[in-house]
Amino acid sequence: MKEKRTIRAEDLYQLKSVADPQLAANGKDCVYVVTTMLEKENKYCSNLYYINVDEKNNPVQWTFGENRNSSPRWSVDGKRLAFVSDRSGKGQIYVIDVAGGEARQLTTCPNGASNPVWSPDGTKIAFNMAIKNGESFSLTDEKDKKEDKKPVPLEVDKMKYKSDAHGFWDGKYNQVAIVDVQKGEVELLTSGEHDYQLQSWSPDGKYIAITADLSEDKDASFISDVFVIHTDTKELKKLTEGTGYFGNVTWSPNGKYIGIVGHEREFENATLSKIWIYDMDTEKIQCLTRDSDLLIGDYAIGDFQQGAVTPGILWGEDNHSFYFLATDHGNTVVYYGSLAGVMYPALLDRQHVYGLSTGGKVDRAVVAISKPSYPGDLFLLNVSTGELEQLTNVNGEFLAEIVLADSEPIRFKTSDEWDMHGWIMKPVHFEEGKKYPLVLEIHGGPHAMYANSYFHEFQCLAALGYAVLFINPRGSHGYGQAFVDAVRGDYGGKDYEDIMAAADYALANYDFIDKDRLGVTGGSYGGFMTNWIVGHTNRFKAAVTQRSISNWISFYGVSDIGYYFTDWQIKSGLHDIETLWKHSPLAYVDQMETPLLILHSEKDFRCPIEQAEQLFIALKHRKKETKLIRFPDANHELSRSGKPNLRICRLNFITGWFNDYLK
């Protein structure tokens, strides 16, 4: 029998990500998206696949080529499928007949189209498009497709003029439009100087639910309200009170109730999302999970899945039952809920459920599941029994030749009696009696959660003989409101102590860890904490800081979120430079002795590269051991969705640095 090999960074080119399952209303037909990375072309490729969940036959590929095909959505009668494809350039809406035939392009929007939503009668599709005021809905000829490449000045008169996801704002607003499926005619449903996000269509076809912030001063506003707009009169009705951030809007089958996920920002961006129900008859809204510490949605992080979609609440045929995803103690869980307030898990296991679709049924669901040593596949969930039947095996052949590490959960108490939860991943080919180096991983956010999910970076480290330790310190999601809020105003305080306590616990309970060969790494907030750690202790022999924060004072003015994030998280601003500096790792550069590799993307607008430059220069000026790696054409999302070759380079830089100092 051929011996299995260990995984490598380059194996990202071999692995497939399966996501966004969509079960049709008949409860049988399911379409999903499979994404791969193309090494030669250095890009991503996504295609649609079909499977009958009753017959469990071999999946059938429905789209082909090296483009991105995504967002498959069934018509209500299940006879047609709308999806988004960039085969003609920018993403546009296409429709394919399930009975056969070629996909037909419906839109030719100059800046692309996204988020297709069918009308109940199947004659129209609503969608989102970015457009300037007065700009044409469609490309009229080849001349329109060619952009003027001459540089032009950027005029800035607002603070929210850039974002890590979209770069500099170019005058376009996100609008909702409707296209006639037969005629291809496009009608703009919203307009003006606001961004509207399409949500869902009412069962009677009269209304479309959308979300938007209609505040005049967008720079000082951080809300998202729910509206319904009449498809004929375009009359807009506001359902929420301008008090919070709401989205994921879905209608009950009879149109009487609207399910909403959101919160009222009691703890700013550390507030738990909850389930809200709007009654169309009484015109009142109520929160069903107000007294619960359950976080609605999927807040687990990873570095592998592409195109995962978190749905809102998915209604059943009875108009009072529904299912949803929740984030809970290192897992994402499928929950059942009802208008009566009944809530309980329908699928509770050591797993990351990163996709859920019910087709409107109450007895079954298709779920996308990942585990620490399992990249991910689709399963059919029998709700009454909790049994899972595997539908796909997209990485079966590859995984048959690879040995992966699993993770062991750990729990411990801190000095102030807080419960902490995390994992230890042993090296691949672990041998009793041997000593191994350990790498401590710290997630970003800080309001995110490590989970029982596949993490390629962890597997690459374990394959090279490292133990990997990762925990959810206070500030992480999944452990209640008090836990996630505890980090605000205390960066580098108890969160630092939590992480050090995890290292102490690992050394005390796992005798295979070599205390003299400890490494630490993390990105974003995890990069901040890596910088903080090496400025406060010399127990780590090597460190890699990624897309990090080093100086909260300059971060205030250069990050796309800086001017409000420092207020929310550090609870300070430029009126209190002393506090910002006290929480800045750069203030402790004289104490930094750990060899530090600094990884940063050139186009990172969330944690701009000047954060890395300041730290690098300060360290080099003091003759400290450091190196700076700059990644071109990459933003804050490099590790998750960056150019394939750069993602591979990043992983090899990380493992190479630790190999140099810990082996």
Q: Which residues are catalytic?
A: 524, 636
Residue 468: half-sphere exposure toward Cβ, Cα within 13 Å: 28
Tell me if residue 586 falls in helix, strand or coil: helix
> What does the block give as tokens for 408?
């062991």
| Backbone torsions φ then ψ of 262, nearest 5 degrees | 170, -170
> What does the block give as tokens for 341?
């307030």
Cα–Cα distance measured from residue 539 to residue 397, given in angstroms and rounded to the nearest whole number: 42
Long-range contact list for 408-412, CB < 8 A, 24+ apart?
409/330, 409/350, 410/471, 410/502, 410/505, 410/506, 410/509, 412/501, 412/502, 412/505
Cβ 488 vs Cβ 583: under 8 Å: no
Cα–Cα distance measured from residue 107 to residue 219, given in angstroms and rounded to the nearest whole number: 33
HEC sequence for 608-638 = CCHHHHHHHHHHHHCCCCEEEEEECCCCCCH
Cβ 477 vs Cβ 484: under 8 Å: yes
Residue 549: half-sphere exposure toward Cβ, Cα within 13 Å: 32
Strand ranges, E, within 391-503: 402-403, 407-413, 419-425, 436-442, 467-471
Token match 């003759």: residue? Answer: 623
Cα–Cα distance measured from residue 435 to residue 479, given in angstroms and rounded to the nearest whole number: 33
In which element (H, E) is residue 656 found?
helix 644-662
Tell me if residue 423 falls in helix, strand or coil: strand
Cα 663 from chain centroid? 34
Which residues face 85 on adjacent strands?
69, 92
Tally Cβ neighbours within 10 Å of residue 78. 16
Strand 419-425 relative to strand 467-471: parallel, antiparallel, unpaired?
antiparallel
